[in-house]
Amino acid sequence: MLGSAPYYVRRSRPIGPYQSRSPVDIAWRLRWPYLISTILAVGMIICILVIGALEVASLAQSTNKDIFGNTSATGAGIWCSVFFSIAAVIILLINYMPSVRLWAQIALITTIIAACFAVILIGLDAKAVQDGKEYLPSLFEKPKILSAQLAFACIELVLCLAFIIVYIIVHVSARRHLRRIPRVFMR
């Protein structure tokens, strides 16, 4: 027992903050547009704040179901903003995480979910605006508030789609970069 060599398992990559990065991670880190993703996330946060404020103002107005229908007092701007904010925060986190590719994939998933909720909010607001303008169009402020919320929900959807396009462009660019690297260095 004393004369035998100790059992040693060689790890292929070191563990910890100083581990070597794969070529895929390096390609993503080099290609990721940090400034553009930050601008998109800040724009999403501004839209989130405006949508939330307009929803509170909308709920403070009269909610006569005979005039505005059932979709006027759902609070959709508040609960959709939860999903928008998750996507925006994760997009901002990409800048600070060591694995850009992983966090960009997570942000892509949350942004697709946020885009789905933006479509839901657009549908609910459009229905409430249509119902409010059919009856007494100049008497109430609520259709104007919901029209503004509808506009910011459309901007939120455009920002989500812009992030999805940025992700696809970086994904294609990173794959092209990896094709140019000789296979000797690939793991």
48-51 contacts, C-beta under 8 A, 24 or more apart = 48/81, 48/84, 48/85, 48/88, 48/156, 50/148, 50/152, 51/77, 51/80, 51/81, 51/84, 51/121, 51/149, 51/152, 51/153, 51/156
Per the model's pLDDT, the better-predicted residue between 23 and 95 turns out to be 95
Segment 142-178, tens digit of pLDDT? 788 888 999 999 999 999 999 999 999 999 998 887 7
Which pLDDT does position 140 carry in this prediction?
67
Which pLDDT does position 136 carry in this prediction?
57
Segment 28-74, tens digit of pLDDT? 888 899 999 999 999 999 999 999 999 888 887 765 565 555 555 67
Segment 17-30, tens digit of pLDDT? 555 677 788 888 88
> Rounded to an integer, what is the distance from CA 28 to the centroid of its chain?
18
Which pLDDT does position 130 carry in this prediction?
82
Output the CA torsion 118→54→163→98 (10° steps): -120
Lookup: tokens for 1: 């027992």
pTM of the model: 0.79
